[in-house]
A and B are shown apart, each in its own frame.
Chain A
Amino acid sequence: MNSERRKELLFNVLMNGVAPLVAIMIAFAIGGIVITSLGTNPFAFFSRMFSLNFGTLRGVSQMIYRATPYFFTAMALSFAFKAGLFNIGAEGQMFIGGLALAWVGFTFTWLPFPILFVLCLIAGFLGGALWGAIPGYLKVKRGAHEVITTIMMNFIAIALVQYLVQNHFMNPNWGIPHTPTVAEGAYAPSLDKVIPWFPAGTRANIMFLVAIILAGLTLVLLDRTKLGYEIRATGLNPNSAEYAGIDISSRTVMTMAISGGFAGMATANFILGPGSHYFLKSEYGGIGFSGIAVGLLGRNNPLGIILAAVLFGFLENGALGVQLYFPNVPRQIVEIMQAIILIVLVIVLELARKFLKRLQKRG
């Protein structure tokens, strides 16, 4: 029993701690080599990136602002993963949820804060949940694999929101295809209103706190409730879960709905947080897909995902600022690093798994 526990600890440390860190370090090393080959000192580059993010509180809040939406789309991947499902449709679920929450925000304009704000979040959740539940239903009733259906639902979502915005919500005189602005009751207060040491006028907003609360709630749901147990059991072994009397069909649909609901709230950071306060599709492209990388890097653990999202926020925010100081390094260096993190992580995880297996065989 004791050695069992020690093995489990080793497994956890290796797979969830060491592997992601190694992947990140290798990505920085390879990024550094590319930067050197462009004739720039990589240490100067990365230290500038570091100071842009951590040098001032404004930098920190910018980083948080950019990190927040990744948490939601990453959770969409990871929550489904708990039930053994691959939700690749966070992008589409994010768009549908985003339009839904904006619609509530600019329709029920008379409602005060925080009622309208909360209603917007619920609308975003439900919009994403609907878009996530459809592939879940198709899997249960028709046996359609969710990877295929969620990917295809992305395209439908993109076309649908574009159609709705351009033909129903947009004023043709605006020139830019966006919805009307949400009412003040829906605004997400900036972080300085809640935590006084953040700089005034920061764009980081309470959606980051919402993310942290949701991470905690998800942990409780998965570890401490019957539903969570059933979801995990379905993921670990659907056959024995069914044998144990768990209704796998309803759990599959429900998992996909909650998963999509997470993605549906991703754009609240931009729409309800300080900024333009309207839904503009072209502002959010790619956040759903990047969520896949963030979820994997966070090892499908809500707390890990917060850290991984902050890392992506660090890279995105840094990539913007460093261009002022290192004009010959293209911003795509960051995308290269994000990709390397992912590739190396998969390799390192596989190596760690083999290593652990050999350890187990030995006794």
Chain B
Amino acid sequence: MRLNRKFLVTISVVLSIALVSGFVFTSFAQDSDKTYRIGLVFDVGGKGDKSFNDSAYRGLEWAKNGSDEFENFEALPINFTTIEPGSGGAGRADAMRMMASQGFDLVIGVGFLFTDAATDLARNFPNVNFAVVDYAQFENIPSNLRGLSFAEHEGSFLVGALAAMKSETRKIGFVGGQKSPLIGKFEAGFKSGAWYVNPDLEISVNYVGTTGEAFANPAKGKEIAKAMYSNDVDVIYHAAGLSGSGVIEAAAETGNYAIGVDSDQDYMAPGHVLTSMLKRVDVSVYQTIRDVVEGDFEGGTVKSFGPEDNGVGYAVDVFNRVEEFPELVEQLENEGIVKLPALGETQISPKRIDQLPSENLLTDSMLARVEELKSQLVDGEFTVPSDPEEVSAEEPVKR
């Protein structure tokens, strides 16, 4: 009887310890095993646009599976869901709301048109984190919303430097879309980089127009570019959306160089696109997801991604570094398809493959020089102005 009671007490103590520790253990385990639910709503255009939407989707895939481009971008414990709001875009807010009301940990909107909808929803769903690519508001941002923006002027600085190194005529050009402060950032950075490398350069600047239509007028873009090229300009950087395809066409027709913008446009005219200024939506999406998973997510502000975290950069691929990627050249010639780091699987028409240059457009010494400039910029040795009025050949950067 006595023994029995002792036995019972021991047993119950052991059991309760086991139970409590088990409980503690499982609740611990639950916490570290949490799978985060990430939702993403595409912009008009949707998946397969070879631009922002695809780039954002790549960021999701990196978060799920890890990145093959950036080694430190490891796979994270997430599941993701995407929604295409469809034509008209009236579904943007509805799609975000659906994800928020299902308790997603992070809901991302791709494109500035999400600004108002996301700001509204963030106030109504304080426990859900939101992020908007190219967020277009700068005040009263809710604390659970992060705007994602890009240091376009710093990326433009790097391609401006490359343009200056490449130019033989010492004349380069810039073609903007709609004349506005946003595109002014591209112009300022480009001039700054070019004059930093060579203050004797002559830089022509022109804009396609003053309305939004200026981003959708390839014919006008081509006309402007042809005029510049006939005036001895040999490298033109465009920040003109669809109008820029006219600039690239003009470069190919006149045998000069163009520089692409936003996504990797080097494939559009092999041998005639020196490089492209990359706005890495994928990087911003991945890093925002990682911040949520690691508990570092900070809202209430617009986070700018720059060269220091690869948020902006310049394209290096098989098209401007033929000698570096002979196996990719072979693949292109055999299969007509190639996987580009910042663009994904890309199909190239045989006619364009025939135009592949035989030498590197970006030489080793150019790359070494621009990487040196990049590290100076990242280290804060100078800053790049974002207003074209503040850039001159005498004072290309601020110290």
Return the contact of B81 from the options A275, A287, A327 (Cβ within 8 A). Answer: A327
CA distance A321 to B117 in the complex (A): 17
**Closest residue of chain A to B48, judged by CB?**
A330
In the assembled complex, B211 has its CB within 8 A of some CB on chain A: yes
CB distance from B96 to the nearest CB of A (A): 11
CA distance A220 to B320 in the complex (A): 70
- Whether B99 lies near A320 (C-beta < 8 A) is no
CB distance from B134 to the nearest CB of A (A): 9
Return the contact of B99 from the options A62, A283, A324 (Cβ within 8 A). Answer: A324
A319: B residues at CB distance < 8 A? 86
Mark interface residues in A147-191 (1 if CB within 8 Å of B CB, else 0). 000000000000100110011000010111100000000000000
CB distance from B243 to the nearest CB of A (A): 15
- Whether A284 lies near B98 (C-beta < 8 A) is no
B82: A residues at CB distance < 8 A? 323, 327
CA distance A166 to B211 in the complex (A): 7
In the assembled complex, B115 has its CB within 8 A of some CB on chain A: yes
CB distance from B178 to the nearest CB of A (A): 9
CB distance from B53 to the nearest CB of A (A): 13
- Whether B83 lies near A62 (C-beta < 8 A) is no
Stretch at the interface among B87-95, B194-202, B250-258, B266-274: B87-95
A330 with B84: in contact, given A175-B136, A283-B89 (CB under 8 Å)?
yes
**Closest residue of chain A to B94, judged by CB?**
A320
CA distance A324 to B211 in the complex (A): 37
Tally of A-B residue pairs with Cβ under 8 A?
74
**Closest residue of chain B to A203, judged by CB?**
B94
CA distance A335 to B85 in the complex (A): 12
In chain A, positions 330-348 with a C-beta closer than 8 Å to chain B are: 330-331, 334-335
CB distance from A86 to the nearest CB of B (A): 23
**Closest residue of chain A to B137, judged by CB?**
A175
In chain B, positions 31-82 with a C-beta closer than 8 Å to chain A are: 44, 46-47, 81-82
In the assembled complex, B102 has its CB within 8 A of some CB on chain A: yes
- Whether B116 lies near A276 (C-beta < 8 A) is yes
- Whether B102 lies near A324 (C-beta < 8 A) is yes
- Whether B86 lies near A324 (C-beta < 8 A) is no
In the assembled complex, A17 has its CB within 8 A of some CB on chain B: no
**Closest residue of chain B to A166, judged by CB?**
B211
A284: B residues at CB distance < 8 A? 88, 90
CA distance A317 to B85 in the complex (A): 10
Return the contact of A282 from the options B81, B83, B89, B116 (Cβ within 8 A). Answer: B89
CA distance A317 to B102 in the complex (A): 17
In chain A, positions 274-303 with a C-beta closer than 8 Å to chain B are: 275-276, 280, 282-287
CB distance from B130 to the nearest CB of A (A): 16
- Whether A324 lies near B98 (C-beta < 8 A) is yes
In chain A, positions 309-335 with a C-beta closer than 8 Å to chain B are: 316-317, 319-321, 323-324, 327, 330-331, 334-335
- Whether A283 lies near B90 (C-beta < 8 A) is yes
- Whether B213 lies near A162 (C-beta < 8 A) is yes
- Whether B87 lies near A286 (C-beta < 8 A) is yes
**Closest residue of chain B to A327, judged by CB?**
B81
**Closest residue of chain A to B116, judged by CB?**
A276
Return the contact of A285 from the options B87, B93, B102, B213 (Cβ within 8 A). Answer: B87
**Closest residue of chain B to A285, judged by CB?**
B88
A174 with B136: in contact, given A270-B90, A323-B81 (CB under 8 Å)?
yes
In the assembled complex, A232 has its CB within 8 A of some CB on chain B: no
A175: B residues at CB distance < 8 A? 112, 115, 136-137
CA distance A286 to B89 in the complex (A): 10
- Whether B88 lies near A275 (C-beta < 8 A) is no
**Closest residue of chain B to A322, judged by CB?**
B83
In the assembled complex, A82 has its CB within 8 A of some CB on chain B: no
Q: Write the residues of chain B forming the contact surface with A, with a CB cutoff of 8 angstroms.
A: 44, 46-47, 81-91, 93-95, 98-99, 102, 112-113, 115-117, 136-137, 180, 211-213
Known contacts A172-B180, A283-B88, A331-B84; can you find 9 more A-B pairs with CB under 8 A?
A176-B113, A285-B89, A286-B88, A317-B94, A320-B94, A320-B95, A323-B81, A324-B83, A324-B102
Contact sample, A vs B, 16 pairs, CB 8 Å cutoff: A62-B94, A162-B212, A162-B213, A175-B115, A175-B137, A176-B136, A282-B89, A282-B113, A285-B89, A320-B83, A320-B94, A323-B82, A323-B83, A331-B83, A334-B86, A335-B87
Q: Write the residues of chain A forming the contact surface with B, with a CB cutoff of 8 angstroms.
A: 62, 66, 159, 162-163, 166-167, 172, 174-177, 270, 275-276, 280, 282-287, 316-317, 319-321, 323-324, 327, 330-331, 334-335
Closest 3 CB pairs of A and B: A175-B136, A286-B87, A323-B83
